[in-house]
A = this chain, B = another copy of it.
């Protein structure tokens, strides 16, 4: 797929997912306690790349999983991602005023509502998956395991642990190995859960799931490295969030730890690793064109 076709595909899928999100978190009147819903919808529906749900949809589709099955999981994943952004942006955390080109949730509303909006999105993610599981005509172990994979990737040994390490290392020295471990937890696990859940819904066996997991972690690392590069090279208007903030805040990123040039080298190395995993999965008869295109596209985000 050429770059422009691929970008069109990403845009179309992101638009479809925006519609699902809108449908799964309907507005609620303020007099029924809807202030958190309003704030959550503000953050959830503010655009965004939707890379996690897209990866879930793409991996599930390779196994012919029907849309009605993968949709609640894709929606839940994006809600969990959005809750983490809202809580990360809070004054006590990264104290970021700008997100996706607009005021962050606590700036647009207030801190109390932003905390509750994050809580709401996390809780709603699980409500949606559990409601799907409870309504499924016959309950499928693969579906429960997909929900569990998402839960674990977001939890105390996944994303939340990564967030804790990020706070910790802001005050401490960090080795390259510690940085890689922190980023893996902070962003890699949830991205990886996207493809593990997608393929898991399709009944992929444990060995194949391990390959998907490695693919997700490697793509997650490329994603993070290119994000860190964009923090130093982009203009705020394009990036949609504050630029150069990582360094001002003493954040430990690939760029601040390895430097820009070494990060470029690492991106190239990870891209080759992804190519190799894609070949392995292709040998199982899977049509891996989307992920091949994604692997070509991500490094190109950095000029």
Contacts and interface: CB of A to CB of B under 8 A. Distances in A.
Interface of A: 25, 28, 30, 32-37, 83, 87, 90, 92-93, 110-113, 115-116, 118-120, 122-124, 126-127, 130-131, 133-134, 139, 141, 144-145, 147-148, 151-152, 154-157, 160-165, 167-168, 182, 185
Given A35-B167, A120-B155, A123-B154, A130 B111 contact: no
Contact of A123 (B131, B134, B145, B160): B160
A36 B93 CA distance: 13
Given A119-B119, A119-B122, A123-B154, 16 more contacts: A25-B156, A28-B161, A32-B157, A33-B157, A33-B165, A33-B168, A33-B185, A36-B160, A36-B163, A93-B112, A93-B115, A118-B119, A120-B160, A126-B126, A126-B151, A133-B133
Contacts of A35: 164, 167-168
A34 B151 contact: no
Contact of A139 (B32, B139, B164): B139
A127 B148 contact: yes
A35 B161 CA distance: 8
Given A130-B144, A147-B130, A155 B33 contact: no
Nearest to A161: B33
A200 B95 CA distance: 43
Nearest to A93: B112
Contact of A157 (B28, B118, B147, B148): B28
A111 B92 contact: yes
Nearest to A162: B33
A236 to B, nearest CB: 25
Q: Which residue among A120, A133, A141, A156 has the maximum number of chain B CB atoms within 10 Å of its CB?
A: A156
Contacts of A160: 33, 36, 116, 119-120, 123
Contact of A115 (B90, B156, B182): B90
8 contacts: A33-B160, A33-B162, A33-B168, A35-B168, A36-B156, A116-B167, A123-B156, A130-B151
Contacts of A93: 112, 115
Contacts of A139: 139, 141, 144
Given A36-B156, A119-B160, A155-B120, A112 B167 contact: yes
